[in-house]
Structure 1
Amino acid sequence: MQEVEFEVEPVFMDEEMLHEAVMVQIPTYPHIENPEEIKYSDILTLQLEYKNIPKIQFLWEFTSLTRLDLNNNLIEKIEGLDRLVNLTWLTLSFNKIEKIEGLESLRKLELLNLTHNRIAVIENIDTLEKLTHLYIGSNRIEQLDNVLYLRKFEALFALTLSGNPVSEEDEYKYLIAAYFPKLMYLDYKLLDAKTKNEAAVKYHHFLEKMKAEELQIQQAKEEEQRQMDEVKLHKDAFVEFLTGSHMFKSMFKDDPEADILPSVPGMADLLQTYEQQMAELCTQLFQIGLDEHKRREEEVSSFFSGHAKSVRYYQQKASQILASFEEQHNERISELQQLSDPEVLRVEINHCNDEINQLSSSLLELALHLYSGVEDIIQKLDANVSEMIVYFVETAQDIFAQFRDLEDNYYENVKKIAVTTLENVAKNDVEVELSNDVKLLFKSKETVMDALATGHDNHLQTIIDQETQLIMRANVWKVALIKRIEDNELERNRKRTSIVHRYMNYLREQLEELQ
């Protein structure tokens, strides 16, 4: 059935529209005394239906919003919702939306209503893992395979697809019941046990095949994630280039004679031995890197454990001080409210201000004590981690020195083989037929020796570069770690101090109102 459209004048979202929508809901917020001072960040629901809105915008302040109704508008694109991370209910039915998008940050969303739009593909909702109700009827969805995309949503409770071409297929109800065994409602009707059992029997073969394919995909994803985690671990340990023969191959990657030399008599065995020796040293340094990374992680974890303990102690002490003060302060306020003599009132208020000043001093002193204590454990962390980094760097330097020794030894042996080969070529006394590339290389002693020297320099430079990179990254990590912790703690201390000052101001203003 063709859609009938009427010309409607669009009304763009603006401050006035949002303010009006908020004011309508004020009666549902009895704790708000002055509606004019309401903050959009406190609003939980927002109804913007039947407004002829063509575009979603200006909603970034509604960060606490849990329900948003935008149905029956002129919206063509889902956008402007990124900051509404607390949404659990979103209605966009009866609009002009053609593509599902812009929902990635709505990870708490449970209900999504997109009925009566122009959507042809169900997509881009992978992050909505808590989705329980999806209404997407009366759209343009044709492919059942696309609907099966929803099988990943294990919490899906209700699904509406009626009004889409896919719902007109034979056996549609049984197909959905078979492929979504946990679904309770389809097109607003209960999927009874009889229908589910019949569907499961009828499509048993297809279900088993699908489950096998899904399991294979899941296993592939898990393996991919495992590999990603492994790569990250190796990077965090600064040894990602020290696995197997990676370093050896990187040394010979840009060596112009690397493909020629193995065909020279005696050279292949030398290269194989060299690669094996390099790989053994790499494995040694690689394992040391992982072990040292684990030690550093344990040290950092221990720091944060101690930090959390210090903060809990501070919070308990602060709570005790505040509880004791507030109990007495409330009694004093009650007594002050009964006083009629201005002079006596003034004296008592001054006394209360003295108590507030004492409270402020106690809380600020406690905060300073916490900050000083945390600074001490930060210094201890710095010292311990620095010691670990120094040990790791010195150990790595020793092993890189062995890499260079291996390269020097290899270079000397290569030169000996080259001299022997040059002599044999000159005497035409070569046991095996040499390739044209080898003959060209060994045409003169100068050509061979220059090529070997260049390769040797390149190999050493690769080793030096790897060593420099490892040392630099290890030291940069340590400096960045301590700086990040220090900056975060300084900011926390500023916030604690600011909270104390704000509370003191509130108490003093409370006293001023009594004068």
Structure 2
Amino acid sequence: MSRLYDTVEPSVIDEEMLQKAVEEQGPKEEAGKIAKVEGIDFADVKSLRLDFKNILKIDNLWEFSCLTKLQLDNNIIEKIEGLDTLVNLIWLDLSFNNIEMIEGLDKLTRLEDLTLYNNRISKVENMDKMTNLQVFSIGNNDLKDLENLVYLRRFKKLKTLNLNGNPFCSQPEYRMYVIAFLSNVEFLDYRLIDQQSKDAAYEKYQIPIEEMLHNEKQAELKKEDEETRAKQLELHRNAYVEGMDGPSLFDMMYSDDAEGNRLKEMPGVDELILTYPCIMSTIKFVAICHQMFTFGLQENEKRQEEVAQFWECVEEAKLENKEMGMKTIAEFMVYKKKAFQELGQISDSTLLDTKVKEFNAQVSELWDKLMGLELQLVDQLEEVIKDYERNMADMVSTFLENIQGFLSQCRDLENIHHERMMELSIITLEKVIKNELDEEISEDLRMLFVDKDTIINAVSSSHDSHLLKIDNKEDDIVTRINNWLKTMIEQIHEEQEISRNRRRVSEINNLIDHLRDEIDGLEIQQGAQY
């Protein structure tokens, strides 16, 4: 789909092009002159036209963070890219370009209207994140496979669809197929779909549609199940007890334990592990882990409640302080209005100077009041943060103390198990030496029973491996929750409180500077009159 201007040198989206486009589309007449002099912040621009610019590559649009409408039609663009920062985009026109593949749209989750008319696209794909899509035009492309359109079923809000001009449009079943499988669409190729057409299409494709609905339902249930499990796993991770609601730790102890896995084949081990409930049964070990899991979830819930209460307290303090500040400013603005009215009627320069000094004194008093309120809030929040930090440290300490207690019980079971395994191994060794074993054992296991030192070393190695896994689990939990506590407190101090204080002080100073500039401007005006 060549264009007359394809032979012209491609243009680059640079600062000059963007500035010119913004000025051309911005305010006109006097307002336009002012905007041109003062400059237009790209971050404030909501709509941008870059059509008929012979643009080859989409680039340098990152400053247009508030853009909702973008026209890039009638260019020579070959690839959709450079749009990731335009997260507020609602309307995008890329028609009449040389695009071959739909891509680069993952961040445009708010997009409602997308036009890709007259390009070289052969497949509808890579649009999963655009759940708000309502209007989609992809006519005059290279779409040949009708079944590819089933992809559009995921867009439940899609009402208007233009496919006209694609190769599959010549197929006799084209329109009926689209109506049948995209039942949410109301306008197809600029024509309203009537109920009679919908009924006829459903009747023709009833069996494959019902089969598809069944498959979609199953897929949806599977997705919901996966999402539920993912949320549960995230919850368990946040509680630092993931995998502790089953035999995960027990299985982990044997996962890299070559000696232990060989010893498990030893006659009598099954009875020792599975049917010796007072000492080292799998059931008892797992039961302790499950107690730890339940405790971890309960403690996590308590921590989250503490976090929520802290932020609620912070927001209440900030709101109360803000209301007092606004009241103080409102009272000053009443005084300012009256003062400026009086100043406008004074002709005596000495009296004018006196009144200006009075006003500046009131401005200074306003600064004192506002800064006093801010200091009061800083002290209040500092106390709240200290209490919160103390409470969270206590909760983390209690959590770790109990977790270490549970893991200590696991170690006790492992130690007792080790003693029993050692006794059983020595007994088995004696039987092997005397050739009195009632059961056949593998050659791999028999290699451990060549002498007493070999079997003792094997049992001890397995025991050390098991204890190391328990120690590693403890270290992991201790490290993660302590890092969480440290990071959270640092963020509260630095990102929340210090940053908030700096912003507030800056706001107060800007207000005071503005008020002083106003009175200075009024003085100049008065001086010009007299």
How many Å separate the matches in 1 of 2:136 and 2:29? 29
The residue number in structure 2 matching 1:330 is 337
- 1:508 deviation in Å? 0.9
Q: CA deviation at 1:21?
A: 1.1
Q: 1:196 aligns with which of 195, 198, 209?
A: 198
- For 1:9, the equivalent position in structure 2 comes to 9
Counterparts of 1:405-420 in structure 2, within 5 Å, are 405-420=412-427
SS in 2 for 1:68: strand
Give the 5 Å matches for 1:55-454. Answer: 55-272=57-274, 273=276, 274=280, 275-454=282-461
Provide the rounded CA distance (Å) in 1 between the counterparts of 2:44 and 2:435.
92
Aligned length: 514
Asked if the contact 1:261–1:268 (Cα under 8 Å) also holds between the matched residues in 2, the reply is no
- Tell me the SS of whatever aligns to 1:377: helix
CA distance in 2, matches of 1:17, 1:264: 80
The match for 2:44 is: 42
Residue 507 in structure 1 maps to residue 520 in structure 2 = no
Contact 2:115/2:138, CA 8 A, preserved across alignment: yes
* Amino acid corresponding to residue 506 of structure 2 in structure 1: S
Asked if the contact 1:160–1:188 (Cα under 8 Å) also holds between the matched residues in 2, the reply is yes
Which residue of structure 2 lines up, in the alignment, with residue 478 of structure 1? 485
Tell me how far apart the structure 2 counterparts of residues 186 and 79 of structure 1 sit (CA, whole Å). 28
User: How far does residue 29 in structure 1 lie from its aligned partner after superposition?
Assistant: 10
Q: Distance in 2 between matches of 1:4 and 1:500?
A: 57
User: More displaced, 343-352 or 407-416?
Assistant: 343-352
Please give the alpha-carbon distance, in whole angstroms, between the structure 2 residues aligned to 1:131 and 1:330: 50
Shift of 1:315: 2.2
Can you list the C-alpha shifts for 1:161-199, whole angstroms capped at 9, x where unaligned?
A: 111122222221111112222212111111122212222
Instruction: Tell me how far apart the structure 2 counterparts of residues 297 and 382 of structure 1 sit (CA, whole Å).
Output: 14
**In the superposition, relative to structure 1, how do residues 372 and 331 fare at CA in structure 2: closer, same or farther (>3 Å)?**
same
* Cα distance, 1:146–1:345 mapped onto 2, change above 3 Å: farther
Structure 2 SS opposite 1:281: helix
Rounded to whole Å, the distance in 2 between the matches of 1:176 and 1:159 is: 10
Question: Relative to structure 2, which stretch is displaced further, 194-203 or 227-236?
Answer: 194-203
Cα distance in 2, alignment partners of residues 493 and 228 from structure 1: 38
> Secondary structure of 2:472's partner?
helix
Q: Distance in 1 between matches of 2:229 and 2:28?
A: 51
Q: Secondary structure at the match of 1:498?
A: helix
Deviation sequence 1:225-283 (CA, Å, 0-9, x none): 11111111111111114231111111112222233223322111112243222111111
Give the CA deviation at 1:30. Answer: 8.3
1:29 and 1:447 mapped to 2: Cα distance?
96
2:78, 2:100 within 8 Å by CA — same for their partners in 1?
A: yes
Structure 2: distance between partners of 1:80 and 1:419: 71
Q: Give, in angstroms, the shift of residue 490 of structure 1.
A: 1.3
The 8 Å contact of residues 90 and 112 in structure 1, kept in 2 or not, is answered as: yes
* Aligned position for 2:500: 492
C-alpha distance 297-411 of structure 1, shift in aligned 2 (>3 A): same
- Aligned-pair CA distance for 1:209: 1.1
Q: Please say which of residues 327-336 and 129-138 is displaced more in the overlay.
A: 327-336
Contact persistence 1:239–1:286 (CA under 8 A): yes
User: Cα distance, 1:134 vs. partner?
Assistant: 0.7
Deviation at 1:4, TM superposition (A): 6.3
Amino acid in structure 2 at the alignment position of 1:491: S
Q: Is the 8 A contact 1:262 1:271 kept in 2?
A: no
Corresponding residue of 1:23:
23
Amino acid at match of 1:422: L
| Per-residue deviation, residues 319-372 of structure 1 (Å, max 9, x unmatched) | 222222222212322332333333222221211111111112212221222222
The separation in 2 between residues aligned to 1:29 and 1:351, in whole angstroms, is 41
Q: Distance in 2 between matches of 1:30 and 1:496?
A: 35
Alpha-carbon distance in structure 1 between the residues aligned to 2:374 and 2:31: 32
- 1:422/1:30 CA distance change after superposition, 3 Å: farther
TM-score, normalised relative to structure 1? 0.96
- The one-letter code sitting in structure 1 at the alignment partner of 2:128 is D
CA distance in 1, matches of 2:147, 2:309: 50
Q: Distance in 1 between matches of 2:326 and 2:31?
A: 25
How far apart, in 2, do the equivalents of 1:258 and 1:420 lie?
Answer: 17
CA contact (8 A) 2:254 2:261 kept: no
* Deviation, structure 1 residue 73: 0.8
- Deviation, 1:426, is 2.2
Q: Which amino acid aligns with 2:192?
A: L
Match of 1:463 in 2: 470
Indicate conservation of the 8 Å contact 1:55/1:76, yes or no.
Answer: yes
Partner Cα separation in structure 2 for residue 412 and residue 260 of structure 1 = 17
In 1: Cα distance, 2:220 partner to 2:386 partner:
45
One-letter code of the match for 1:187?
D
Q: Once the two structures are superposed, what CA deviation does each residue of 1:63-112 show, in whole Å capped at 9, x if it has no partner?
A: 12111111111111112222222211111110111111222222221111
Contact 2:146 2:168 in 1 (8 A): yes
Q: Against the structure 1 CA distance between its residues 123 and 330, is the aligned structure 2 distance closer, same or farther, given a 3 Å change threshold?
A: farther
Residue aligned with 1:151, SS = helix
Verify the 8 A CA contact 2:87 2:109 in the aligned structure 1.
Answer: yes
Is this contact kept in 2: 1:12–1:55, CA < 8 A? yes
